[in-house]
Amino acid sequence: MLTIPYPNRMSTTQPSSIEENEIILGTGMGPLRFGATMDEVRTLVGEPEEIEESDDDDDFEHQAWNYHEEDYLLSLYFDREDDFRLSCIETDNPNMRLFGEAIFGLSLDQVKALMARHNQPTPEVETMEEGAVRLSYEKSMIDLYFEEGELQFVNFGVFINDDMEVQWPK
């Protein structure tokens, strides 16, 4: 499992914890905060096993840093437009939590109910070509992907206002 050292404790590495895997909409996950520089992320998580560059035909030039752990993948996205600050996280970590609840493996209806309990607006639901289902909450900048009826991975990012301006967490 990925162990992330906490920045306020000099060189003390903390074991995996509930907080480390907690998705905080618009803010990040655990100690990873949207708006962090590549150097700050490198200090928290270490060197990525793989760095992917965006294709020339992508709308946004970005880098994806991939960390391959024993049982999951963590991908961190840095957009050129945002001075290569952390703007999006994607993970299939089986320990991920949202609103304090474990979400990996939940059904589409269970996730919709969780989101509704936390005042999230009606989502868009799309069935992908390969049969996976994407549940999207545009205002909350989160996409949840289901395969064979269970949540498999989540992609979430920094909030963007109606004027398409990034709203970095404070």
Amino acid identity for residue 136 in this structure: S
Name residue, tokens 């035909």. Answer: 57
Cβ atoms of 158 and 166 within 8 Å: the answer is yes
pLDDT tens string 63-81: 999 998 888 999 999 988 8
pTM, full prediction: 0.85
Give Cα 115 distance to the centre of its chain. Answer: 16
| Residue 58 one-letter amino acid | D
Cβ atoms < 10 Å from Cβ of 111:
22
What distance in Å separates the CA atoms of residue 25 and residue 2, rounded to the nearest whole number?
21
What does the buried/exposed string (b/e) look like for 56-89 if buried means 16 or more CB atoms within 10 Å of the residue's CB?
Answer: eeeeeebbbbebeeeebebbbbbbeebeebbbbb
Give me Rg for the CA atoms of the chain: 16
Tell me the longest C-alpha to C-alpha distance in the chain: 47
pLDDT digits (tens, 9 = 90+) for 25-43: 999 999 999 999 999 999 9
Provide the phi-psi class of 49: left if phi over 0, else alpha when psi is between -120 and 50, else beta.
Answer: alpha
CA–CA distance, 55 with 48 (Å, rounded to integer): 19
Average pLDDT, integer, range 12-19: 43
Mention every residue, 6+ apart, whose C-beta is less than 8 A from residue 118: 99
Burial readout 120-150 (b: 16 or more C-beta within 10 A, e: otherwise): beebeeeeeeeeebebebeebbbbbbbeeee
Which uninterrupted H or E stretch holds 98? strand 97-98
pLDDT 10s digits, 86-129: 999 999 999 999 999 999 999 999 999 999 999 998 899 999 98
